[in-house]
Structures are given as C-alpha cells and as structure tokens.
C-alpha cells in the first residue's frame, strides 16, 4: 500500500474522542453512495468531524481502481454535496478513499477484501475498528452478512477492535422476512452493533420532536387523551416513483413509507418520557408505543384503511403519466401509491384518540407534517359571533419538511366591531431562527454510527413491531376484492375513499 495516511484534525468537542475506524461500503458504485453517502462523508470531513484516523473502502461489482473511484467520488460530491468542494479538504479526504471490486457472494472476493482491509488498517492506523455499510439491494444482504460471518468480523472479533453494520431499508418485506434478517444479522453481530437506517430519524425536525415535547414544560401536561382530540400524520410527495418501478411495485406506499418512516414519527409523538436520551431508554419507550397500536382484525381493515393508485394528471404545471404507465409497472398493477389508515394506541395516555395517517405519491405538493388537534372550547360564549356550528380547534402542527417549523393555531378577535373571530398562527420557522445550515440526515446518522450511538437507529424489536401492525393490513387487503385502480388523479389530494375514512368520524384531512 503506497497511500499516505490521511489525518483528519477534529475540533475540540466531544467528537475528538471518535475512535479510529475503517468504513466499508458495499454498493460503493451505486446511486445511494453517490447521492447520499459520499457527500455526507465529505461534509463531515469539511466540518472536521470524521475520526482523526479514518479510511473508507468501497466494494462493488464495477471494476474500478482506487483512482477511478476517487474520480467518481469527486464528481458525486460536486453534484450532490450541500457545500462546494474545498481543494485542500478534498485532497486529504480523497487519500482516505479506497476501492475494490468483487462479487457479494464470492468467498474469494471477500478474502481479498479482508487482505485489503488489513493493508488499509496498517496504512491509516485505523486500529482494527470496522463499520460496514450495506448500501445494496436487500437481495444481497444475506450473502454479504454470511461472508462477513466467515471472516474475522462481528462477534468473532471480540477484543480485536469493534465491528458495526449499518443496514439500509427496506428491512424485510413482512414480519417473517424481517425476523429472518434479524436472525441472520444476530448470527454475526451483537444487536448493539446493528444500525438499521431510517433516514427520517436523522432529520433535524424529527429529532426535535423529543426536545419539543420533553424540554418544555407546557406541552406534556396537555399531551394526552384529555386534551387531544386526534392526530394527523401526513407524508405527501409530489414525486412519482422516479424510475424505481421494479422496487416500488413490490413495495407500495404501505411498505415504502408507512411501515417505517411514519411508524417512527408515531412512536416519537406518542411515547412516554424516556429515562435518559440514549439508545436504550428512547427505544424502550418507542417500542412500547408500537406494541400498544391496536392490531386490525381482518374485517376491520376495510373500515380503518383506504388505498389508492394515481392515474395521469398534472403536478406543478407538468403533465405526468399514471402509475400503470410508468416504466417497469405492469398494466394491471394493483400496487397502492396512496395509503391512509386510522390507528389507535391503546395506552393509558392515548386510549380512544384516533391517529390518522396518510402517505402518497403524486399529490399536489411535498409536505410532511404532524398535526395535533386539541379538543374544542365550548361555543357558549361566542355563539353570536361566529356562524360556524363549532369553534375551530387549536392545532399544533410540526412541519418536518419543507418550511421546517412549528405552528400553533388559535382563535383571535378581528379588530373592530361587531365582534368576529378568526384563526391566527403562532409560527416558529427554522430558517428564520437559525442561521446555520442543518446537516443532512445521512451526515447525522453516519456520525452517530461512527460514535457508536444507536439512538437514531431502529432496534430489532421496533422493526418487528412495525411489521406486525403492517402485516395485518396486508393480510386484510389480500382478503378484499381487487381495488378499482386507478382511483385518484395525479395532482389531486387522493381518492374519495380516503376522505370517507376520516369523514365518517366527523373529521376531515387537514389542508396542507
């Protein structure tokens, strides 16, 4: 190995304690590595937040040399980084990048990888610590984990540096496959060393749910069934399936977003205060919420869920094809691109409070939001001053993205007489309150994995609990007649059955 060791000077913060490490990315020539991982690593280097002794080895099938990989990495960072490339930082960063090609299931390739890792460890003085990143399609997980188990990694390395593994989503396609994958991972790694990514947890606004709820004294007393009427969680996307037809048609909106990102939002919103802000305490409380979600019986699924698929239409002034006309999608596909459901969390705090959740592709705009609707004040005093049969409720909305912020809606008196009431908003906007640009979710998550902090990663029991809930819906849908798809136009707010789902409870979806 002729490469000179790259030395990353870290600022004088707790991160100066970051242990040396070699990051190994499987799937290094792929899209995720180019769009997310390399830019995130480069931005960590720019902020001097990588461990002082750090190296990265990319592994994939494409036949590249170290130099070719570095050129590829530079282009990827130039295209996708949130900040410009600084030539000095780049040259130190690039000297830490290495590459080898091979087959994921080929023992000889993995033997060569082990040799390469030893050489890199020696050259960069990374002390035998390894962070493996599975940035590959799930079909390759089994082979890679089995090969890592054969090598000197995982549990077998105890005392010889640590090994951690980051696993990308989707984590299984149902409870059984998720359990099998957990089982496989546990045969090589300790659960504490398994980092299951849900990139929503790396978003600043999602992390802020904990701070908002538990660092302020005024919200917790009213955060329960006595004051909350219902909650709406929306993940609306204007995008379609972006060329991912093959994956998406086997997944659908339920598995792609509701099972993971939305269940995580639900658990953070509904959890009890943790004993401490660490991986064990936070995840202990989150998983209790998922265990408390009422499971649908088969015949309840039709009443408590709605699904849809988009036809052609107009989004943001452009004409877009219907789902069944997208590349790689069968003309008769029954995959849902819209799902809505009404859940109950059967805990003392939330008994009988409905949690309405919806997510879809090709809605009019991109918006992820949690809205907590409080119980209304009695109309008694103001019945002569409003034509509405009820006073509008206070709504606390947490905007995860875009226009990140939090608003509280309340009623005010319109100046002048006669007395009239109108809702107004108290607004907090991240953009207006903080000048610093937030790190990307992948920067946060990679740094946490390097640090050994799993708080923002999904634990095996959480993943299984979320699949237990989701499997009941899949099972109920299977027992129902084929849905009449497509049933909503691209650029509309979804199918009529989703409006009916909430309307029969006397409520409506919040306008975003």
Residues identified as active-site:
261
Task: Give DSSP secondary structure letters for 284-300.
Answer: HHHHHHHHHBPPPPGGG
237 binds ligand BG6 (CB under 6 A): yes
Q: How far is the CB of 295 from ligand BG6 (least distance, A)?
A: 24
Question: Least CB distance from residue 361 to ligand BG6, whole Å?
Answer: 7
Place of tokens 């995720």: 32
Q: How far is the CB of 480 from ligand BG6 (least distance, A)?
A: 24
Distances (CA, A) of 122 to 1, 20, 108, 117, 119: 9, 12, 21, 8, 5
Q: Shortest Cβ distance from residue 237 to ligand BG6 (Å)?
A: 6
Asked if residue 249 binds ligand BG6 (CB under 6 A), the reply is no
Is 462 an interacting residue with respect to ligand BG6 (CB under 6 A)?
no
Per-position x/- string for 422-451, each x denoting binding to ligand BG6 as judged by CB under 6 A, each - no binding = ------------------------------
Q: Which is nearer to ligand BG6, 95 or 368 (CB)?
A: 368
For the stretch 303-325, what's the b/e string if a residue is b when 16 or more beta carbons lie within 10 angstroms of its beta carbon? ebbbbbbbbbbebeeeebbbbbe
Q: For ligand BG6, how many residues bind (rule: CB under 6 A)?
A: 5
Q: Is 256 in the site for ligand BG6 (CB under 6 A)?
A: yes
Query: Contacts with ligand BG6 in 279-338 (CB under 6 A)?
Result: none
Compare residues 256 and 462 and give the one whose CB is closer to ligand BG6. 256
Least separation in angstroms between residue 261's CB and ligand BG6 is 6
Using an 8 Å Cβ cutoff, are 300 and 476 in contact? yes
Min separation Cβ 366 and ligand BG6, Å: 7
> What residues contact residue 369 under an 8 Å CB cut-off, 6+ apart?
232, 233, 234, 397, 398, 399, 400, 510, 512
Distance separating alpha carbons of residues 375 and 511, to the nearest angstrom: 19
Binders of ligand BG6 in range 359-388 (CB under 6 A): 368
- Which CB, 391 or 446, lies closer to ligand BG6? 446
We find the least distance from the C-beta atom of residue 52 to ligand BG6, in angstroms, to be 31
Beta carbons within 10 angstroms of residue 455's beta carbon:
18
Q: Cβ closer to ligand BG6: 54 or 171?
A: 171
Comparison of 153 and 200: residue with beta carbon closer to ligand BG6? 200
Q: Kindly report the number of other CB atoms within 10 A of residue 379's CB atom.
A: 14
Nearer to ligand BG6, 38 or 56 (CB): 38
Is the CB of residue 210 less than 8 Å from the CB of residue 268?
yes
Structure tokens at 248: 């998406």
**CA–CA separation, 148 vs 154, rounded Å?**
7
Beta bridge partner(s), residue 345: 293
Query: From CA 90, how far away is CA 69, in angstroms rounded?
Result: 14
Kindly tell me which of 257 and 353 has the beta carbon lying closer to ligand BG6: 257
To which H or E segment does residue 481 belong?
none
Please tell me the distance from the alpha carbon of residue 42 to that of residue 330, in angstroms, as a whole number. 40
Q: Least Å distance between CB 431 and ligand BG6?
A: 17
Nearer to ligand BG6, 161 or 172 (CB): 172
**For ligand BG6, what does the binding mask look like between residues 16 and 55, x meaning CB under 6 A?**
----------------------------------------
Give the nearer residue to ligand BG6 in terms of CB position, either 153 or 457: 457
- Tell which residue, 383, 381, 423, 427, has the closest CA to residue 403: 427
- Please name which of 367, 253, 364, 366 lies closest in space to residue 318, comparing C-alpha atoms: 364
404 binds ligand BG6 (CB under 6 A): no
Smallest gap from residue 228 Cβ to ligand BG6 (A): 25
Helix (H) or strand (E) holding 189: none
User: In sequence order, what DSSP letters do the residues of 50-68 get, joined into one string?
Assistant: S-SBEEEEEEESS---HHH
Q: How far apart, in whole angstroms, are the C-alpha atoms of residue 183 and residue 177?
A: 10
Residue 33 host element (H or E)? none
Nearer to ligand BG6, 82 or 101 (CB): 82
Strand residue runs (E) in 392-450: 395-401, 405-413, 421-429
Footprint (CB under 6 A) of ligand BG6, residues 163-222: 169
Q: Which residue of the chain is nearest ligand BG6 when measured via CB?
A: 256
CA distance 501 to 283: 31
Q: Cβ of residue 200: shortest distance to ligand BG6, in angstroms?
A: 7
Structure tokens at 15: 């991160």
Applying the rule CB under 6 A, the residues between 329 and 358 that interact with ligand BG6 are none
Question: Using CB under 6 A as the criterion, which residues of the chain lie in contact with ligand BG6 when the complex forms?
Answer: 169, 237, 256-257, 368
């Amino acid at each position: 190995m002729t490469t000179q060791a790259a030395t990353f000077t870290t600022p004088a913060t707790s991160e100066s304690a970051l242990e040396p490490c070699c990051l190994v990315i499987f799937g290094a020539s792929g899209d995720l590595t180019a769009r997310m991982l390399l830019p995130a690593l480069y931005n960590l280097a720019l902020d001097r937040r990588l461990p002082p002794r750090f190296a990265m080895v990319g592994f994939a099938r494409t036949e590249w040399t170290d130099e070719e990989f570095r050129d590829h990495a530079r282009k990827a960072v130039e295209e996708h980084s949130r900040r410009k490339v600084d030539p000095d930082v780049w040259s130190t960063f690039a000297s830490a990048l290495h590459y080898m090609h091979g087959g994921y299931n080929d023992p000889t390739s993995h033997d060569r990888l082990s040799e390469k890792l030893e050489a890199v460890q020696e050259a960069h003085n990374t002390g035998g610590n390894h962070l493996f990143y599975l940035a590959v399609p799930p079909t390759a997980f089994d082979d890679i984990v089995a090969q890592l188990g054969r090598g000197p990694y995982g549990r077998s390395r105890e005392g010889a540096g640590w090994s951690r593994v980051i696993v990308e989503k989707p984590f299984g396609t149902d409870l059984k496959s998720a359990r099998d994958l957990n089982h496989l991972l546990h045969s090589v790694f300790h659960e504490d060393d398994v980092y299951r990514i849900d990139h929503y947890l790396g978003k600043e606004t999602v992390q802020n749910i904990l701070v908002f709820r538990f660092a302020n004294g005024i919200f917790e007393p009213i955060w329960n069934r006595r004051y909350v009427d219902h909650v709406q969680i929306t993940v609306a996307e204007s995008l379609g399936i972006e060329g991912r037809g093959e994956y998406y048609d086997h997944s659908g909106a339920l598995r792609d977003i509701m099972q993971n990102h939305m269940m995580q939002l639900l658990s953070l919103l509904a959890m009890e205060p943790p004993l401490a802000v660490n991986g064990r305490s936070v995840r202990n409380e989150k998983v209790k919420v998922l265990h408390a979600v009422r499971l649908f019986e088969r015949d309840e699924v039709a009443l408590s869920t709605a699904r849809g698929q988009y036809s052609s239409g107009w989004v943001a002034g452009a004409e877009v094809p219907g789902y069944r006309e997208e590349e790689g999608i069968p003309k008769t596909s029954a995959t849902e691109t819209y799902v809505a459901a009404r859940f109950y969390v059967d805990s003392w705090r939330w008994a009988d409070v409905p949690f309405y959740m919806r997510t879809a592709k090709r809605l009019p705009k991109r918006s992820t939001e949690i809205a907590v609707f409080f119980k209304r004040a009695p109309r008694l005093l103001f019945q002569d001053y409003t034509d509405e049969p009820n006073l509008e409720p206070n709504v606390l909305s947490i905007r995860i993205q875009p226009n990140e912020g939090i608003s509280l809606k309340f009623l005010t008196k319109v100046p002048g007489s006669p007395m009239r009431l109108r809702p107004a908003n108290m607004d907090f906007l991240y953009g207006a309150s903080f000048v610093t640009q937030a790190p990307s979710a992948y920067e946060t998550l990679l740094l946490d994995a390097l640090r050994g902090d799993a708080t923002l990663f999904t634990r095996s029991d959480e993943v299984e609990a979320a699949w237990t809930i989701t499997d009941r819906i899949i099972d109920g849908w299977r027992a129902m007649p084929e849905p009449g798809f497509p049933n909503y136009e691209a650029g509309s707010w979804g199918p009529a059955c989703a409006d009916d789902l909430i309307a029969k409870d006397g409520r409506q979806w919040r306008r975003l």
